[in-house]
Amino acid sequence: MIARMATNPLPQFPAGFLWGVSTSAHQIEGAVDERAPSVWDAFSAGPGHIKDGSTAAVACDHFHRYPEDVALLAGLGVDAYRFSISWPRVNSPGGLDFYDRLVDALCAAGVRPVPTLFHWDLPAELDWMDRDTAERFAEYASVVAGRLGDRVKKWITLNEPAEHTLLGHALGAHAPGKQLLFDALPVAHHQLLAHGLAVRALRAAGADDIGIANSHGPTWAASDRTEDVEAADFYDLLLNRLFADPVLLGQYPEGIGELMPGDVESDLKIIAEPVDWYGINYYQPTEVGAPEGAEIEFSGLTLPAELPFTVKELEGYPVTDFGWPVVPEALTELLVGFRERYGDRLPPVVITENGCSYDGIDDQERITFLDGHVRALHRALEQGIDVRGYFVWSLMDNFEWAEGYERRFGLVHVDYDTLERTPKASYNWLRDALRAQR
């Protein structure tokens, strides 16, 4: 059933509010033979790792077609473009030349470049289980900032270290495919340490507008039973507080610090280097109950029976083609909850990702989704939450990690045979909505 297209004008946002769209390097660039290998190249080549058997060898071929994509950004009328820089490409001869060209094209089009330094495509020779990778990341950040910092004024260190830890190192569903469960905690710590070291490196290079993009969503207990409430609290700790508390409070949630490697107290001083804003990727809330002693099939994942919680399907809400519940009001709840937890330690917030998977070019469901979430964001502003920007995921359909090309999150349709780009109905809706905000 096609959702009814939203027709009421969006509420007005404050002057200077940043409107943008997001992508990531591995998901759109292609041209894998023109860069060093990443952990995702090896993972995608493994049997059964990608559901449709595909790889990102070509993806959207953004590496060669970026002028066309910059034109789409200009036509959309966004203020900013959040893309990621491929660390393996930067490690290759001439790799930074591509980002030089991209940044120049964005600036010429009047679109602010907002690069993310790490969006999961780790160089193949590195491992987040090793502390040295955090040091290497800071060195890489210095190189990139030294080359692009004269034009790039807004930076993101990491994207979703929670998902990269959970999916890539605890459950093995993403690259590098490790199944360490709770032994993956050093990966979380070393990514957070890398973030803090990169903040210092960017500051040393003259940057003064730096954030991180963490994924967050409300955790709802399946009932008010003590065992469900405690399980939900533990899940919330793992997916939310474990990654926000060190950055914003300079401490791990109770009981976590002693599980981390190295001189944790000293590392936390680095991790908590002040950021200028805090990025939140929001997609859905999660309902969690007490463990049931059985494997859990959830959102395309098989969660092992030994986890101390059960993730449940959230009933009573429409779902995307990915099966994710559509709950705009949970975005307001999330932001209000952040203010309650972190108070004046919470800097201005930017929604660095929000989007949905729907098929088709006449994607009225995506319009309804975006309309509802932008209104939910405005309600948070009305409640005094200092939100400075909103980025839609994603500019175009792309390689959706372990899902391959089966999930389409884009405002622009990509024909993967011809690589032709076709703006969807949602692209036109957002273009018109942004014109009304001027």
Residue 392: beta bridge partners?
21
* Helix, strand or coil, per DSSP, at residue 303: strand
**Angle subtended by helix axes 242-249 and 185-204, to nearest 10:** 30
Query: What tens digit of pLDDT does each residue of 261-278 get?
Result: 999 999 999 999 999 999
For β-strands 349-353 and 278-281, DSSP reports them as: parallel
Give yes or no: 333 in active site: no
Q: Do 174 and 166 contact (CB within 8 A), yes or no?
A: no
Q: Which residues contact 171 (CB under 8 A, 6 or more apart)?
A: 179, 181, 301, 303, 304
Query: What tens digit of pLDDT does each residue of 425-438 get?
Result: 999 999 999 999 98
pLDDT reported for residue 143 = 98
**Residues of the chain with pLDDT > 70: what percent?**
98
> Averaged over 132-136, what is the pLDDT?
98
pLDDT reported for residue 2 = 37
Report the amino acid identity of residue 30.
Answer: G
325 DSSP 8-state letter: B
Q: Do 426 and 372 contact (CB within 8 A), yes or no?
A: no
**Catalytic: which of 163, 287, 353, 400?**
353
pLDDT reported for residue 4 = 42
pLDDT reported for residue 3 = 39
> Where are the alpha helices (H) located in 46-131, listed in sequence order?
62-76, 87-90, 95-108
Query: What tens digit of pLDDT does each residue of 44-59 get?
Result: 999 999 999 999 999 9
pLDDT reported for residue 7 = 62
d(CA 304, CA 159): 25
> Averaged over 31-39, what is the pLDDT?
98
Give yes or no: 68 in active site: no
**Residues of the chain with pLDDT > 90: what percent?**
95
d(CA 238, CA 32): 34
Q: How confident is the model at residue 317 (pLDDT cuts 50, 70, 90)?
A: very high
d(CA 270, CA 274): 9
Query: What tens digit of pLDDT does each residue of 345-364 get?
Result: 999 999 999 999 999 999 99
Which element (helix H / strand E) includes 235? helix 226-236
Q: Which fold has domain 18-284+314-437?
A: TIM Barrel (3.20.20)
pLDDT reported for residue 300 = 75
d(CA 288, CA 232): 5
**Catalytic: which of 160, 163, 287, 400?**
160
Q: Do 253 and 241 contact (CB within 8 A), yes or no?
A: yes
Query: Of residues 1 and 97, which shows the higher confidence score?
Result: 97
pLDDT reported for residue 5 = 47
pLDDT reported for residue 35 = 98
Phi, psi of 21 (to 5 degrees): -130, 160
Domain regions of the chain by residue span: 18-284+314-437
Which residue, 115, 108, 120, is CA-closest to 81?
115
Q: Do 326 and 260 contact (CB within 8 A), yes or no?
A: no
Query: Of residues 298 and 393, which shows the higher confidence score?
Result: 393
> Averaged over 297-318, what is the pLDDT?
89
Q: Which residues contact 37 (CB under 8 A, 6 or more apart)?
A: 88, 123, 124
